[in-house]
Amino acid sequence: MRVENSTVLITGANGGIGKAFVTELLHRGAAKIYLGVRDPQTVKSLLALSSRLAPVVLDVTNPAHIEAAAKAAPDVTLLINNAGAASFSGVLSAADAANARQEMEVNYFGIINLAQAFRHTPAFQNGGGVINVLSILAQVTLPVAGTYSASKAASLAITRTLRAEVKPRGVQVLGVLPVQADTTMGAALPEPKLKPAEIAIDTLDALEAGEEEVYPGALSQAAAQAFKADPAGLQAQFSTMVHAIS
């Protein structure tokens, strides 16, 4: 799928990765970009970049927001599910399951909610596309982010399911599996980290190349190669990080 002249809706547009996507989409000639955010005030600086940008109030867990967004953006050809939630806790280290539920609501059910709401838009017709921003933790679990890892594993599974459903009609579904990024959400995670721009550039390159999954940046590619070579060994390495994040 080509980005040039596309009409895009991106959720979580006010985050570090979201902003990087917007910048790169503009650079590649997207015709219009809907900025899905809970508070439009958080994208005021982005809106100053181009008249091709339009804010859409969108909490991916709010049915009323989702319905309104689908009505406001019926011309979307590329849907980018980028909104995310992370609590950085394990099972016994969490006081209760509230954060785990929120991660599933945003990271997993958010993808389902948006797919169902936008199923009749051009994004889900021949030539359309969907990008789901996942995590390498969909494949290997980090105990200090155990419930987040679980939500991303579920998100990877539903991404592959959605791809199988829509591939016959000519729709591309791209799963993005980065390692930790240099963003506010990833501030507590250890270095080294990916730059958000690396994620955006490599992801859109993969989209335009017709790929199904991408590990953006050299760090993600190294992790993917390690997982492919010795998944149990990589999991053992990650499993030592039980108390690394305070």
pLDDT tens readout for residues 40-61? 999 999 999 999 999 999 999 9
Work out the angle at residue 204's Cα, subtended by the Cα atoms of residues 152 and 49, and round it to the nearest 5 degrees: 105
Burial class for 14, CB neighbours closer than 10 Å (0-12, 13-18, 19+): buried
Q: Are strands 129-133 and 172-176 parallel, antiparallel or unpaired?
A: parallel
SS3 8: strand
Token digits of residue 205: 């390159």
**Any idea which fold 7-239 has?**
Rossmann fold (3.40.50)
Q: What is the pLDDT of residue 143?
A: 85
Residue 176 pairs in a beta bridge with 133, 214
Token digits of residue 38: 């809970």
Q: Sorting pLDDT into bands at 50, 70 and 90, what band is 245?
A: very low
Q: Sorting pLDDT into bands at 50, 70 and 90, what band is 246?
A: very low
CB 166 within 8 A of CB 156: no
Please give the distance of CA 87 from its chain centroid, rounded to a whole number: 16
Q: What is the pLDDT of residue 162?
A: 99
Q: Are strands 129-133 and 7-11 parallel, antiparallel or unpaired?
A: unpaired
pTM: predicted TM-score of the whole model, two decimal places: 0.93
132, 128, 124: which is closest to 106 by C-alpha?
132
Q: Which residues are catalytic?
A: 148, 152
Cα dihedral angle (189, 195, 196, 198), rounded to 10 degrees?
-130
Q: What is the pLDDT of residue 87?
A: 86
